[in-house]
Amino acid sequence: MDNTDKNLNIDDEFLKKLIQENVSKEDAPKDFTKKTMDLVMQEWIANPIETKTKSHGIKYWIILISLLSVAGFAYIATDARKLITMSDIEWLKSFDKEYLIYLHSAFNSITESFLQISPIVYIVLAGIVAITITDKLLKKSHYLTSLFMV
């Protein structure tokens, strides 16, 4: 540190001491919070902060409808078909012979093709899904922790 730097540091400390000892901090008036809240409330009435509810995107609905459709087809082609074949209602039986039998065989062939896929593919897929879910949960818990940390 050269002499100039030394002088500057002394100057700095000297001034800091003078200011802290001699400049008094001014407090807000007693009714400040009330008056300011009145103004803020006026703003709030004119322009409220609205909570934006997270609306589900089209992607969400496509996935939901697809999953429900698959579940519906699976039910019709398996459990529902069994119930229909066991029932005595004629029109249901003919409906089964004309349509459901094809749906059933199609569903079976899809199931068989899935079974032919190597188990490692399922394991990798399950891993990816688990990592994605864990990541989302961790992010959410980190955000909540930062909110409630005092």
Partner 1 sequence: MDKDLFYIYQIKQGDITVFSQLIDKYKDMVFNLAFQITKNREDAEEVSQDAFVKVYNSLHNFKGTSKFSTWLYSIVYNTAISKMRKKHIDTVDIDSKSYSIEDNQETGLLLKQKEQKEYINYALSKLNPDDRAIVILYYLESKNINEIAEVTSMTANNIKIKLFRARKLMHSKLKTLLSNEISTIL
Q: Does 1 bind partner 1 (CB under 8 A)?
A: no
Cβ atoms 104, 81 nearer than 8 A: yes
Q: Does 119 bind partner 1 (CB under 8 A)?
A: no
Closest CA to 100 of 75, 69, 67: 75
Two tokens at 137?
A: 């949960």
Binding residues among 20-59 for partner 1 as defined by CB under 8 A: 20-29, 32-33, 35-37, 39-41, 43-44, 47-51
Helix axis angle, 58-75 to 101-116, nearest 10°: 110
Cβ atoms 103, 133 nearer than 8 A: no
Q: Kindly determine how many residues on this chain lie close enough to bind partner 1 according to the rule CB under 8 A.
A: 40
Q: Which is nearer to partner 1, 51 or 113 (CB)?
A: 51
Stretches 96-104, 108-116, 122-130, 141-149: which one binds partner 1 (CB under 8 A)? 141-149
Q: Which is nearer to partner 1, 24 or 118 (CB)?
A: 24
Binding residues among 51-110 for partner 1 as defined by CB under 8 A: 51
* Phi, psi values for residue 74, rounded to 5°: -60, -40
Rounded distance between C-alpha atoms, residue 145 and residue 139, angstroms = 10
Q: Which is nearer to partner 1, 1 or 120 (CB)?
A: 1
SS3 47: coil
**Contacting positions for partner 1 (CB under 8 A):** 7-8, 10-12, 14-16, 18-29, 32-33, 35-37, 39-41, 43-44, 47-51, 146-150
